[in-house]
Amino acid sequence: MLARVANNLFWMGRYIERSEHIARYINVNYFASLDAPNEHSQSRQFVLRSMMYMVGEPEKDDNVQLNEEDIFFKIGLDPGFPFSIINNVKYARENANSARDLISTELYEATNKFYHFVVNYPVDVFVKRGLYDFTLNIAEMSAVLRGKIRGTLLHDEVYAIILMGINIERATQIIRMINSKYNDALVAQGSYADRFRNSFEWTTLLKCAESYDMMRRYYKKTPNSVSTLEFLILNPDCPRSVMNCLNQVFYHIKTLDQKSSYHKNSTAFLVGKVRAEYAYKSIEEIEGDVKKFIESILDSLNQISQKMEKEFFNY
């Protein structure tokens, strides 16, 4: 496989995953806030700020009043905002385009349909009454894409690279969500019957990660800060957990690097190292300083991505 094309496929995976997480985040947060149990979480300003925090453009000025339609447009369909869903989907398709000879017709057509759905979505409908429909479709269409990736591609290097992109991005987005909701839980505490540990925001966080039902099944208790973080970071069986993503990345790097023992400068070595770190971590170690954990894991994921670039995409 060409190095240039491998890079494009890696990013195709990342952009597909990214658009889905952003869509789900704004969907779940908005609708959860409508009847949230406390005033703070129910406030529109609070949820809009949370959305901007998640996409990486937090509003720093407390006095600014955010406009709902403006924020929806910006995150959803603004071609001028680099982190908007429409741009993510455009990039995903552009990357698929350049690797069109390597991927299946089925995957390409699904990507293409996805793209046309987004670019043809009327802006006025979206900002006024289309939030649910639009974001739900994004989430569903990206699930279709993952299905086509799994079900129609050869499970070879091409597949491994796409899946590494998807999983690195998934871990990154889950951490961004944790970061954002952790921040929300801090801000929201103190209001009626809400302590940080038992904040309503933990439930919202789990729903953003499509993990609420399974978390309830696993713990059989109402989510609190510790159990939620443990589930989303360390539980290897939760498909959205950071641990699971690292396991996946480690599994797929083996397709690209088939040596029995890895060179200390290789991507595989680094992935194995990061994975081992979290495989033997307890939630108590993380819970004490969540901010530090977030910085450190984002840094590790970034290093993996850069290492891949150097080892495989350097053309």
**Interface residues with other proteins (CB under 8 A)?**
1-6, 94, 97-98, 100-102, 105, 108-109, 112-113, 116, 157, 161, 256, 312-313, 315
Angle, CA of 249, 52 and 195, to the nearest 5°: 85
Angle, CA of 309, 140 and 133, to the nearest 5°: 120
Two tokens, residue 236:
């290897």
Distance of CA 6 to the CA centre of its chain: 21
Measured between alpha carbons, how far is residue 271 from residues 3, 6, 251, 300 in Å? 20, 18, 10, 9
Two tokens, residue 125:
């409908």
When the beta carbons of 67 and 105 are compared against other proteins, the nearer one is 105
Rounded to a whole number of angstroms, the CA Rg of the chain reads: 20
Angle, CA of 214, 217 and 221, to the nearest 5°: 115
Kindly state the smallest distance separating residue 5's Cβ from other proteins, in Å.
8
Kindly state the smallest distance separating residue 116's Cβ from other proteins, in Å.
7
When the beta carbons of 97 and 198 are compared against other proteins, the nearer one is 97
Kindly state the smallest distance separating residue 313's Cβ from other proteins, in Å.
7
When the beta carbons of 4 and 197 are compared against other proteins, the nearer one is 4
Q: In whole angstroms, what is the distance from residue 7 CA to residue 22 CA?
A: 22
Two tokens, residue 313:
């995409």
CB-side neighbour CA atoms (13 Å) of 167: 23
Kindly state the smallest distance separating residue 315's Cβ from other proteins, in Å.
5
When the beta carbons of 10 and 134 are compared against other proteins, the nearer one is 10
Could you tell me if 164 and 308 are in contact, meaning their C-beta atoms sit under 8 angstroms apart?
yes
Kindly state the smallest distance separating residue 6's Cβ from other proteins, in Å.
5
Kindly state the smallest distance separating residue 314's Cβ from other proteins, in Å.
9
